Amino acid sequence: MANSPPKILVFDSGVGGISILQKVQQQLPWCEYIYASDNRAFPYGTKDESELVARVDLVLKVLTEKINPDIVIIACNTASTVALPKIRSHFQKPVVGVVPAIKPAAQISSSKVIGLLATPGTIDRPYTQWLIDDFAPTCQVIKAGSSRLVEIAEEKIRGKAPDLEELRNIIAPLFTTPELDTVVLACTHFPLLGEELASVTPRAIQWVDSGDAIARRVASLISTAPADAAHPEGFDYFLTANAGVTANLVSGLKNFGAREIRSLEI
Ligand code: DGL
């Protein structure tokens, strides 16, 4: 009989972390995936730091006790840039954090003018400034913080098509500098709007997100697949509150591969 595959918990405030889950699943299709979204405390991007750290800590304590995963991925830039040390202090197995992909963006930008599109929380974090100072010291970094873009991604998964004019206005501050050639999608919700965002830029640019790097990092923590490994389809989905779980959300999540959708009141 085959050994049970590594169990990977992917966590975000909402549906955004699915953009990370998809990349990890492509790389490691034989692992078992559980996705959890803290819909009760959504959105994270406008929360005060200490409130956010306490919330993420509480939710992950409950989830890790219930699920007993081998690896936790905090698929949320807003949470990882402030809560990683606390989570790592009480969960003994690997915790992989998703943080803004500033380093690869600085490497591929020819003009060395890059944009950072994130939640207001991530934009303001000392951790984000540290990434810029360390990995993009010679770049001009133009920042745009938007919580509305997070909501638009949530609406899209519930079946509402994004308003392209609204997207154009949200990203307009990035395009006031003609040299900008690369934009970091520093919120896991934003790759879910990748096609729409690309369709409203005034010129073609390069987009960078953290998905591939996270998939490589997780793969480096896991031994290779046993020869008899099964390839389970999809993932189980937990929400932290029943409220707001509409038929539209359920069908959107199923389209992404969610099997069981359960709420765990936290
Ligand atoms: N998906 C989260 C991130 O990567 C943020 C969403 C929110 O504001 O709740 O930052």
Radius of gyration of the chain (CA): 18
* Cα-to-centroid distance, 151 and ligand 1 (Å): 10
What atom of ligand 1 comes closest to residue 187's alpha carbon? 4
Q: Whose Cα sits closest to atom 2 in ligand 1?
A: 76
H or E segment to which residue 260 belongs: strand 258-263
Q: How far, in Å, is the centroid of ligand 1 from the Cα of 77?
A: 6
The yes-or-no answer on residue 76 being catalytic is yes
Query: Distance from the CA of 211 to the center of ligand 1, in angstroms?
Result: 14
DSSP state string for 168-218: HHHHGGGGGSTT--EEEE-STTGGGGHHHHHHTSSS--EEE-SHHHHHHHH
Give 186-200 pLDDT, tens digit per residue: 999 999 999 999 999
Query: How sure is the predictor about 252, in pLDDT bands with cuts at 50, 70 and 90?
Result: very high
Map residue 62 onto helix, strand or coil.
helix
Closest among 63, 50, 131 to 93, alpha carbons compared: 63
Dist CA 67 CA 73 (whole Å) = 13
**Nearest 5 degrees, angle CA 140-CA 144-CA 146?**
165
Catalytic residue among 15, 136, 144, 187: 187
pLDDT of residue 203: 95
Per-residue pLDDT band for 228 (boundaries 50, 70, 90) equals confident
- The per-residue pLDDT for 47 is 96
* Residues 3 and 227: beta-carbon distance below 8 Å: no
pLDDT at position 1 is 44
Q: Which of 125-129, 156-160, 222-226, 234-238 has the lowest mean pLDDT?
A: 222-226
Q: Which residue has the tokens 């005034």?
A: 202
Could you read off the pLDDT of 119-130 as tens digits, one per residue? 999 999 999 999
User: What's the gap in Å between 202 CA and the centre of ligand 1?
Assistant: 26
- The answer to whether the predicted template modeling score (pTM) of the entire model surpasses 0.85 is yes
Distance CA 252, CA 177 (A): 37
Please choose from 35, 152, 189, 209 the residue to mutate so as to test ligand 1's pocket, defined by most ligand atoms within 8 A of CB.
Answer: 189
Is residue 31 among the annotated active site residues? no
Tokens (6 digits) for 237: 């989905």
C-beta of residue 128 within 8 angstroms of C-beta of residue 122: yes
* pLDDT score for 246: 95
- pLDDT single digits (tens) 33-51: 999 999 999 999 999 999 9
pLDDT at 2 (0 to 100): 52
Asked if 38 and 101 touch (Cβ cutoff 8 Å), the reply is: no
Strands (E), 120-234: 140-145, 182-185, 206-208
Helix, strand, coil shares, percent, the chain, to 5? 45, 20, 40
Contact 260, 58 (CB under 8 A): no
Give the Cα separation of 31 and 8 in Å (integer): 7
What mean pLDDT do residues 141-164 have? 98
* DSSP state, residue 193: G
pLDDT, mean over the chain: 96
CA angle 125, 130, 131 (to 5 degrees): 100
Burial classification of residue 109, based on how many CB atoms lie within 10 Å of its CB (0-12 exposed, 13-18 middle, 19 or more buried): buried
The single-letter DSSP state of residue 234 is: S
Q: Which of 41, 63, 76, 186 is catalytic?
A: 76
Reply yes or no on whether the pLDDT at 212 is more than 70.
yes
Helix (H) or strand (E) holding 65: helix 49-67
Express each pLDDT in 55-91 by its tens digit.
Answer: 999 999 999 999 999 999 999 999 999 999 999 998 8
